[in-house]
Homo-oligomer: A and B are copies of this chain.
Amino acid sequence: MDRALRLQFHDLMVKTRALELRMIAMVRSGDGYFWIGGPGEEAVNVALGLQVRKGEGIDYDYLLLHYRNTGMLMAMGIPLIDPIRLMRSTATDPFTRGRSFSGHYAYKPFNILPVTSPIGTQFGVAPGLALAQKRAGSKGVTIVIGGDAGAAEPDFASGLIWATRPGRELPILFLITDNSLGISTRKDQVWAMEHISDRAKPFGIPTRVIDGNDPEASHAALGEALETVRRTGRPYMIDAKVSRLYGHSSSSGTNLEPGEDPIARYEKKLVDEGIATPGELKAVHERYHAEALAALEQVRLEPFPAPHTLYDHTFVPSPVDLVYGERYFNPNRGD
């Protein structure tokens, strides 16, 4: 594999980690209320983010993300400062303008649909996007991501059913990021099968279990999967085993938890194979650590949303509505 690409994997994984650690620290320092994210999932996220056909509209991939996909955003080139704005809920947050949680992105220029907390709903939305893509003859794929526990929500099954209607199969890449945990509930307390992706088999969806902690293997498998979906217009499921290194969210304390660290593992490999020296790798960490801190310092200067912005975007202006057509208001306030 290309040396530059390998170093790019490393760079983006470290960038993501530095950003996550900064956001975790922001909870402790009172710069944000709640953190949720993906330390331990950097490898598969970076591998996917680099291969997304990114852009706005039906010709590009649609992304229905989980809340642990910050690594994808970094790989797609979204500035590191923006997740920090989301985390601090400033008016400058380009995703939600201070409305939603960290990790809950929405970014139209890259077809990142709003990440919603209610687990699993993205799987039921994916078929609509993919149907539009397929009908338009687009090469875009709808990429939908969710955790192992969340596959028990109804929409996971809906996604399988709607993606495989006979003769109307849809170009959806399903990605399960299996860290074998819900918040605190172990996978083996819930699931009769080892691989959630087995559930896709009766639907005739090709499935593949991968080591999501290996950026190179992930990159190859995801590349192949994306290529297959683009070519066939049919669904594919990747089941990636990943780590959860800092607990579920800031609500569960964000202490380091046991689990394989994909970055440490990859660094060992890069050093062993003579791609980089420990010092070079360490410098990457330091650079992004500093960048994240500087970003926070800038964000601290940015304003919070003004209270009156509450009503903004409740409705889009409408030419056929005589009451809320131009402006939405609270009828009980008598305006």
Contacts and interface: CB of A to CB of B under 8 A. Distances in A.
Interface of A: 152, 154-158, 161, 164-166, 188-193, 198-199, 201-204
B198 A192 contact: no
26 contacts: A152-B157, A152-B158, A152-B161, A154-B154, A154-B155, A154-B157, A156-B157, A157-B157, A161-B191, A161-B192, A164-B192, A165-B189, A165-B191, A165-B192, A166-B189, A166-B190, A166-B192, A192-B202, A192-B203, A192-B204, A193-B202, A193-B203, A193-B204, A201-B201, A201-B202, A202-B202
Contacts of A201: 201-202
Contacts of A202: 192-193, 198-199, 201-202
A152 B201 CA distance: 16
A109 B190 CA distance: 34
Q: List 6 A-B pairs, minimum CB-CB distance, nearest first.
A: A154-B154, A164-B192, A198-B202, A157-B157, A192-B203, A199-B202
Nearest to A192: B164
A190 B203 contact: no
A168 to B, nearest CB: 8
Total copies of the chain: 2
Contacts of A161: 152, 190-192
A188 B161 CA distance: 12
Given A166-B191, A192-B204, A199-B199, 5 more contacts: A165-B190, A166-B190, A192-B203, A193-B204, A201-B201
A149 B204 CA distance: 18
Contacts of A203: 192-193
Nearest to A193: B202
Interface centre among A152, A192, A193, A199 (most CB of B within 10 A): A192
Contacts of A165: 189-192
Contacts of A155: 154
Contacts of A166: 188-192
Contacts of A164: 192
A193 B188 CA distance: 28
